[in-house]
Amino acid sequence: MSDANEPWLIAGLGNPGPGYAANRHNVGFMVADLLAERIGGTFKRAQKAQAQVLEGRIGAPGPASRRVIVVKPMSYMNVSGGPVTALRDFYKVPTANIVAVHDELDIDYGTLRIKLGGGDNGHNGLKSMTKAMGPDYHRLRFGIGRPPGRMQVADFVLKDFSPAERKELDYFVDRAADGVECLVTEGLERAQSAYNS
Protein backbone atom coordinates (compact mmCIF):
# COMPACT_ATOMS: atom_id res chain seq x y z
CA MET A 1 0.00 0.00 0.00
CA SER A 2 1.37 3.41 -0.90
CA ASP A 3 1.96 6.29 1.50
CA ALA A 4 -1.42 7.88 2.27
CA ASN A 5 0.05 11.35 1.69
CA GLU A 6 1.28 10.62 -1.82
CA PRO A 7 -1.08 11.71 -4.60
CA TRP A 8 -2.49 9.39 -7.25
CA LEU A 9 -2.68 10.23 -10.94
CA ILE A 10 -5.59 8.67 -12.81
CA ALA A 11 -5.14 8.89 -16.57
CA GLY A 12 -8.24 8.17 -18.62
CA LEU A 13 -6.96 7.39 -22.12
CA GLY A 14 -8.76 8.53 -25.27
CA ASN A 15 -8.68 10.90 -28.21
CA PRO A 16 -9.68 14.59 -27.97
CA GLY A 17 -12.53 16.12 -29.95
CA PRO A 18 -16.27 15.51 -30.33
CA GLY A 19 -15.82 13.11 -33.26
CA TYR A 20 -14.15 10.58 -30.93
CA ALA A 21 -16.21 11.18 -27.77
CA ALA A 22 -18.45 8.08 -27.97
CA ASN A 23 -15.83 5.72 -29.52
CA ARG A 24 -14.88 2.46 -27.81
CA HIS A 25 -11.30 3.78 -27.67
CA ASN A 26 -12.52 6.66 -25.47
CA VAL A 27 -13.91 4.67 -22.57
CA GLY A 28 -10.99 5.94 -20.45
CA PHE A 29 -12.24 9.52 -20.96
CA MET A 30 -15.77 8.39 -20.00
CA VAL A 31 -14.51 6.97 -16.70
CA ALA A 32 -12.41 10.10 -16.05
CA ASP A 33 -15.47 12.29 -16.68
CA LEU A 34 -17.53 10.29 -14.20
CA LEU A 35 -14.78 10.51 -11.56
CA ALA A 36 -14.67 14.29 -12.10
CA GLU A 37 -18.45 14.43 -11.63
CA ARG A 38 -18.18 12.46 -8.38
CA ILE A 39 -15.38 14.68 -7.09
CA GLY A 40 -17.51 17.69 -7.99
CA GLY A 41 -15.01 19.59 -10.11
CA THR A 42 -14.38 20.53 -13.71
CA PHE A 43 -11.38 19.81 -15.87
CA LYS A 44 -8.98 22.66 -16.53
CA ARG A 45 -6.29 22.92 -19.13
CA ALA A 46 -2.95 21.86 -17.61
CA GLN A 47 -0.21 24.48 -17.62
CA LYS A 48 2.55 21.88 -17.74
CA ALA A 49 1.23 19.41 -20.32
CA GLN A 50 -1.13 18.89 -23.22
CA ALA A 51 -3.91 17.59 -21.00
CA GLN A 52 -7.01 18.44 -19.02
CA VAL A 53 -6.64 17.97 -15.28
CA LEU A 54 -8.79 17.98 -12.19
CA GLU A 55 -7.46 17.85 -8.65
CA GLY A 56 -9.54 16.54 -5.79
CA ARG A 57 -9.99 13.82 -3.21
CA ILE A 58 -11.72 10.46 -3.29
CA GLY A 59 -12.73 8.18 -0.48
CA ALA A 60 -14.52 8.86 2.78
CA PRO A 61 -13.65 12.25 4.33
CA GLY A 62 -10.81 12.08 6.82
CA PRO A 63 -7.69 9.90 6.85
CA ALA A 64 -9.17 7.41 4.37
CA SER A 65 -9.44 9.99 1.57
CA ARG A 66 -6.73 10.23 -1.08
CA ARG A 67 -5.54 13.16 -3.14
CA VAL A 68 -6.01 12.46 -6.84
CA ILE A 69 -5.20 14.19 -10.10
CA VAL A 70 -7.58 13.00 -12.82
CA VAL A 71 -6.07 13.49 -16.27
CA LYS A 72 -7.31 13.34 -19.84
CA PRO A 73 -4.32 13.63 -22.20
CA MET A 74 -5.23 15.88 -25.14
CA SER A 75 -2.38 14.64 -27.33
CA TYR A 76 -4.16 11.73 -29.05
CA MET A 77 -4.00 8.20 -27.72
CA ASN A 78 -0.77 7.14 -29.45
CA VAL A 79 1.29 9.80 -27.64
CA SER A 80 -0.38 9.75 -24.20
CA GLY A 81 2.94 9.06 -22.46
CA GLY A 82 4.32 12.60 -22.86
CA PRO A 83 1.51 14.44 -21.04
CA VAL A 84 1.12 11.76 -18.36
CA THR A 85 4.86 11.76 -17.60
CA ALA A 86 5.02 15.56 -17.49
CA LEU A 87 2.16 15.63 -14.98
CA ARG A 88 3.66 12.78 -12.96
CA ASP A 89 6.84 14.85 -12.60
CA PHE A 90 5.01 18.10 -11.89
CA TYR A 91 2.79 16.62 -9.16
CA LYS A 92 5.58 14.33 -7.85
CA VAL A 93 3.47 11.18 -8.21
CA PRO A 94 5.27 7.83 -7.78
CA THR A 95 4.88 5.72 -10.95
CA ALA A 96 3.18 2.99 -8.86
CA ASN A 97 0.47 5.58 -8.01
CA ILE A 98 -0.50 6.05 -11.65
CA VAL A 99 -3.62 4.34 -13.02
CA ALA A 100 -4.21 4.12 -16.79
CA VAL A 101 -7.89 3.53 -17.60
CA HIS A 102 -8.18 2.09 -21.10
CA ASP A 103 -10.15 -0.07 -23.53
CA GLU A 104 -9.07 -3.70 -23.88
CA LEU A 105 -9.81 -5.89 -26.93
CA ASP A 106 -8.92 -9.23 -25.39
CA ILE A 107 -11.61 -9.30 -22.73
CA ASP A 108 -15.38 -9.35 -23.16
CA TYR A 109 -17.41 -6.17 -23.27
CA GLY A 110 -17.89 -4.68 -19.81
CA THR A 111 -15.46 -7.02 -18.06
CA LEU A 112 -12.90 -5.24 -15.87
CA ARG A 113 -9.37 -6.26 -14.96
CA ILE A 114 -7.21 -4.25 -12.58
CA LYS A 115 -3.49 -4.97 -12.44
CA LEU A 116 -0.07 -3.51 -11.78
CA GLY A 117 2.52 -3.57 -14.55
CA GLY A 118 2.61 -5.88 -17.55
CA GLY A 119 2.82 -5.54 -21.32
CA ASP A 120 0.90 -3.18 -23.59
CA ASN A 121 -0.95 -5.93 -25.53
CA GLY A 122 -0.72 -3.83 -28.70
CA HIS A 123 -2.50 -0.85 -27.08
CA ASN A 124 -0.82 2.30 -28.42
CA GLY A 125 -1.73 4.44 -25.40
CA LEU A 126 -0.06 1.97 -23.04
CA LYS A 127 2.87 1.56 -25.43
CA SER A 128 3.46 5.33 -25.27
CA MET A 129 3.15 5.44 -21.47
CA THR A 130 5.47 2.45 -20.97
CA LYS A 131 8.06 3.95 -23.32
CA ALA A 132 7.95 7.20 -21.32
CA MET A 133 7.98 5.81 -17.76
CA GLY A 134 8.44 2.04 -17.75
CA PRO A 135 5.68 -0.57 -17.15
CA ASP A 136 5.25 -0.28 -13.37
CA TYR A 137 1.95 1.60 -13.24
CA HIS A 138 -1.57 0.30 -12.60
CA ARG A 139 -4.04 -0.41 -15.37
CA LEU A 140 -7.79 -0.67 -15.29
CA ARG A 141 -8.62 -2.62 -18.42
CA PHE A 142 -12.18 -2.10 -19.66
CA GLY A 143 -13.22 -4.93 -21.97
CA ILE A 144 -14.61 -3.98 -25.37
CA GLY A 145 -14.33 -7.43 -27.00
CA ARG A 146 -12.92 -8.27 -30.44
CA PRO A 147 -14.15 -6.81 -33.74
CA PRO A 148 -16.80 -8.86 -35.53
CA GLY A 149 -15.96 -10.76 -38.73
CA ARG A 150 -13.14 -9.25 -40.74
CA MET A 151 -13.41 -5.73 -39.34
CA GLN A 152 -10.00 -4.14 -38.72
CA VAL A 153 -9.09 -3.45 -35.09
CA ALA A 154 -8.44 0.25 -35.84
CA ASP A 155 -11.92 0.64 -37.36
CA PHE A 156 -13.53 -1.19 -34.45
CA VAL A 157 -11.94 0.85 -31.64
CA LEU A 158 -12.70 4.14 -33.44
CA LYS A 159 -16.40 3.28 -33.81
CA ASP A 160 -19.03 4.24 -31.27
CA PHE A 161 -20.41 1.59 -28.94
CA SER A 162 -23.31 -0.28 -30.56
CA PRO A 163 -26.92 0.46 -29.49
CA ALA A 164 -26.98 -2.85 -27.57
CA GLU A 165 -23.70 -2.00 -25.81
CA ARG A 166 -24.90 1.52 -24.99
CA LYS A 167 -27.79 0.07 -22.94
CA GLU A 168 -25.25 -1.18 -20.39
CA LEU A 169 -22.45 1.32 -20.92
CA ASP A 170 -23.38 3.67 -18.06
CA TYR A 171 -23.47 0.74 -15.64
CA PHE A 172 -20.04 -0.52 -16.74
CA VAL A 173 -18.47 2.97 -16.68
CA ASP A 174 -19.89 3.45 -13.18
CA ARG A 175 -18.41 0.11 -12.09
CA ALA A 176 -15.03 1.05 -13.59
CA ALA A 177 -15.03 4.34 -11.66
CA ASP A 178 -15.85 2.35 -8.49
CA GLY A 179 -12.90 0.08 -9.30
CA VAL A 180 -10.53 3.05 -9.57
CA GLU A 181 -11.76 4.45 -6.26
CA CYS A 182 -11.35 1.06 -4.56
CA LEU A 183 -7.81 0.68 -5.93
CA VAL A 184 -6.77 4.12 -4.70
CA THR A 185 -8.38 3.91 -1.26
CA GLU A 186 -8.14 0.19 -0.41
CA GLY A 187 -5.27 -1.18 -2.52
CA LEU A 188 -4.74 -3.54 -5.44
CA GLU A 189 -5.66 -6.83 -3.79
CA ARG A 190 -9.02 -5.57 -2.54
CA ALA A 191 -9.80 -3.92 -5.91
CA GLN A 192 -8.92 -7.09 -7.82
CA SER A 193 -11.07 -9.33 -5.62
CA ALA A 194 -14.03 -6.93 -5.86
CA TYR A 195 -13.86 -5.91 -9.54
CA ASN A 196 -11.89 -8.43 -11.60
CA SER A 197 -14.55 -10.55 -13.21
Which residues does the annotation mark as catalytic?
A: 25
End-to-end, the C-alpha distance of the chain in Å comes to 22
Interacting residues of 151 by C-beta distance below 8 A, sequence separation 6+ = none
Q: What phi, psi does 189 have (nearest 5°)?
A: -60, -45
